[in-house]
Structure 1
Amino acid sequence: MSKKRCLFTEKLKAEYGFLKSENESKVACTSCKGVFSIESRGRADIERHLQSSKHKDAMKGTQQAFISEFFKKQNVANDDLQCIAKEMTFAYHCAKHHLSFNASDCCSKLIKKFYDKKFSAGKTKLEALLVGVIGPHIFSEVLKELEIAHFITILIDTSNRKDVKILPIMVRYFSFKSGVKTKLLQINSIPGETSDIILEYVSTAIQKYSLSEKVVALSADNTNTNFGGVSRQGQKNVYRKLETKLGRSIVGIGCSAHVIHNTVQAAADSLPVDLELISVKIYKFFYIYTVRNTN
């Protein structure tokens, strides 16, 4: 008598959903596109096909994961929290010491290799941490301090980079916890350097951060555009127009760097020794003697 013939039953169809029936004893695999017979051994033929290299290679490319698996879970392990803290600290360190993203990318790979395999702070991730997390957090803290501060000085100075004119706005205020602070409020490029353009840019920032009632002084270069020159004459400069915009008088302060330079220069002129002569002698004492330079 002939051996019993195995068929692709409904039970096998439900168990192996990726198999499609060609006929009663021949099936097609939708994963690897293979066709084989189960006539001799039935389920054993299916299991043998699953262990074949062709099917396994095909399954490597078709295996899919839920998108939720690529995101951090709400219940984060303590080790993961420590790793996140390390990455944030490293990002803050790079920003504080003005390290380039390329250098930090190399350094983070060394940290990962030598100390923590979970550590990851390449230049792309580092930029995301600084721009998306650390920067907004620090700026929110500055805004909180500005809400408490009563008197604020606006500092401006245009910086030209070829055809691009950049105007940062700094704020100086007193904090009860830390004393006098100077922070960057805003920095953008402007289309020109006329008094009207600068006034519009500065007044927009003042209104945006609700500082109109707190501004008491303006610090900038003693140019005609900012103050009408050293004599502070005229009404078409930023200083006078800002006073009109605020509806009250404010203090006009020249460039802080120039003020310090002039102060040091005046103090040096009143000393009983010639500082220039002393500086030249010190330079001549060291500049050609290797032993003196190393010591």
Structure 2
Amino acid sequence: MNRRTTLNSYRERIQRVVDYLWENPERECTAMELADIAHFSHWHFHRIYHELAGETVYQTVRRVRLHRAATRLLRTDDSMEQIAASAHYGSVEAFTRAFGVAYGVTPARFRAERRRASRPNQPLPQKKEYPMDYKVEVIDLPRLTLGTIAHQGDYNGIGQVFDKLFVVAQTHQLITPDTRAFGIFYDDPYTVEESNLRSEAGITVTEAQARDAGLTVREIGGGPHAVLTHVGSYAELDKPYQWLYGEWLPTSGHEAADSAPFEEYPNDPRETPASELITRVYLPLQG
């Protein structure tokens, strides 16, 4: 399968989701349901959708519901309370604010002026252009056992969890020259509220070592993985993720496996300038 065919396949699958959202604006769909419609792993669906659709699923749903609300404003005599509720807003005030942002006028004024509620463009945007470019290597990664500590919140705050992890590791004499450090990231930061983002900081250990140290046992790897190497500040890691999901994956001929992406940190941020930090981003692939 060539790059163009693969990209078209990814776009068609995302388009299925967009069509479904337009046809079912009242439904509260789970990420799992939408991923199934597109035949993508739920671990990666939101990132792929964001890059190819140019907006998050939540933004598409909000746009579709506001369009339906605008149509009802023009075609029915339903009350503002009814229309706000049908658009899934808890109050007329919240609906009015959201409608004003999208349409530039209040719902009442929109209705009074009988503006035409033209349907926003449904087709996906043209292929996004990325100013950056990276090299990706597909490798067969052996299965690795980690001892981890969970983190919830801003992904940039996982450094504090790593500090805690290394104190535990040093106390239990788990650090060796072969120790590797990984971060596992379960949620798409464009879709999930920052306070609810889930991640884990981990190091390679045996299962027994992890349990003795009071760490969570987690396994990663085992099969083909795309590996992207980023050099620079951890704060800039959103760029390689955008490129990996929006440019490389849809044209690679590969499908993402049903497990979360993770990162490896070969050098020590306490001793390395931010511009020289190395991060390997691993994307699990179907075998």
TM-score tier, shorter chain, comes to: under 0.3
The structure number with the bigger radius of gyration is 1
Q: Structure 2-normalised TM-score?
A: 0.22
Of structures 1 and 2, the one scoring higher in RCO (CA 8 A, sep 6+) is 2
Q: Structure 1-normalised TM-score?
A: 0.22
